Amino acid sequence: MILMIGAGPMAQEYAKVLKGLERDFIVIGRSEASAVKFQEATGVSPFIGGLDKFCESEDLKPFEFGIVTTGVEQLAPTTIKLIDHGVKNILVEKPAGLDAQEITELADYAASNDVKVYVAYNRRFFSSLLAAKEIIEQDGGVQSFNFELTEWGHVIAKLEKAEGVKENWFLANTTHVTDMAFHLGGFPEHLSCFFSGGKEWHERSYNFSGAGVSDSGALFAYHGNWGAPGRWSVEVLTSAHRLIFRPMEKLQIQKLGSVAIEPVEVDDSLDAQYKPGLYKQTEAFLNADTSNLCSLDDQKKHIELYSRMAGYTSSGYL
C-alpha cells in the first residue's frame, strides 16, 4: 500500500500515475478546499486533516511506500513523520527540504533509521533524456556540457510562497536544471562559481556563472541571469553529437560536420499522457529500480555544490 501526503496539483499528477500503474494508495490532505479540488481532478477522496490526525487512528506500518508532495517548507518535517511511523521507502519531492541544513539533517536522520529516501527529480526520466543517454553511451561518453539556469525573477517576485521558499529558490526550483545537467554529464569534482546581485526576494544572488570538471572527466560551464531574458537549457557534447535540450522536454541534435539542428524522434507517449517523467520515475521507485533515482544521501552531497553555486555559502570553489 502507498501513502501519499499532500493533495495539491503535484499530488493530482501522482494520483493519475498510480491509477495508471494500478496501485492502491491513500491520500492525506490538510484542507477541505484542496481535497475537493483533488477529488474533482482524480476521482479519489483524500483524508482531510493532515498526517498527524491520520496517525491518531491509523497505523502506518502497513504502508510500504510513502510519497511526499507537500509545499517545500513541509517536505522535511513530513518525511521525518513518515520515518517515525515506520514507513521504510519514501519518495519526496525536490529538493527534500527548505535549505541545505534541513536537507542534510533529514538525510542523516533517514540513514540512522535505515530508511530509503529518494528525491523526485522527474526530469531524469524524460523520454528525451533517456534517449540522450543512449546516444551518449554509443558515442563513448560526454566530453563537455553547458547549461543555462535563468529564472524569470520578475514573475517569481510576485508569487505567494511560504517564508524561506523564495529566499532559497535556487534549491527549491533551479536544481531541476543542475540535477538534469549533472545527471547527464557527471557531478562536479572541481568547481569554480561566481555570483552577484540580488533582489528583495532573493538577496544573496541574482546572476550566476561558473565552470568545472565533472567526475566523468567532462568539462562544463553554466550561467544564469534572473534579471534578464532567458530560459532553462542544457547542451551535452560528445565526439559525434551536440545534444540540445531547449526547451528542456525536447531533444534536438547537431551532428559532427553539420550546422543543422534536427529534432530527435522519441516515444514520448507516457510523457504526453502523464506529467513528463513522472510515470517512469514512480514506476522505478515502486520497483526498487534505483539506477536513475536521486537518493537522499546523494542529494546531501549535491546540496553543498548547489549552495556554492547559488551564493548561499561563502566559498565558491571546490
How does pLDDT run across 251-278, given as a tens digit for each residue? Answer: 999 999 999 999 999 999 999 999 999 9
| CA distance to 7, 59, 173, 303, per residue, from 84 (Å) | 21, 11, 28, 24
Place of cell 492502491: 24
In a domain, 33, yes or no: yes
Which DSSP string corresponds to 235-254?
EEE-SSEEEEESSTTS-EEE
Mean predicted lDDT score pLDDT of the chain: 96
Place of cell 502507498: 2
pLDDT of residue 66: 98
**pLDDT for 288-300, tens place per residue?**
999 999 999 999 9
Q: Above 60 in pLDDT, residue 146?
A: yes
Place of cell 527549491: 172
Give the CATH number, domain containing residue 65.
Answer: 3.40.50.720
Q: Say whether both 157 and 226 belong to one domain.
A: yes
Q: Above 80 in pLDDT, residue 302?
A: yes
Enclosing domain of residue 33: 2-120
Grid cell of 311 as nine digits: 551564493
Last residue of a domain, one of 252, 267, 282: 267
In a domain, 303, yes or no: no
Q: Say whether both 153 and 243 belong to one domain.
A: yes
pLDDT of residue 78: 98
Number of H helices, E strands in the chain: 12, 15
Amino acid making up residue 209: S
Residues sharing a CB contact under 8 Å with residue 97, sequence separation 6 or more, in sequence order: 72, 75, 76, 103, 105, 106
Residues sharing a CB contact under 8 Å with residue 71, sequence separation 6 or more, in sequence order: 6, 8, 161, 162, 165
DSSP conformational letter for 265: P
Q: Above 90 in pLDDT, residue 144?
A: yes
pTM here is: 0.94
In a domain, 282, yes or no: no
Instruction: State the Cα torsion 293-185-176-41 to the nearest 10°.
Output: -50
Residues pairing with 66 in the sheet: 3, 90
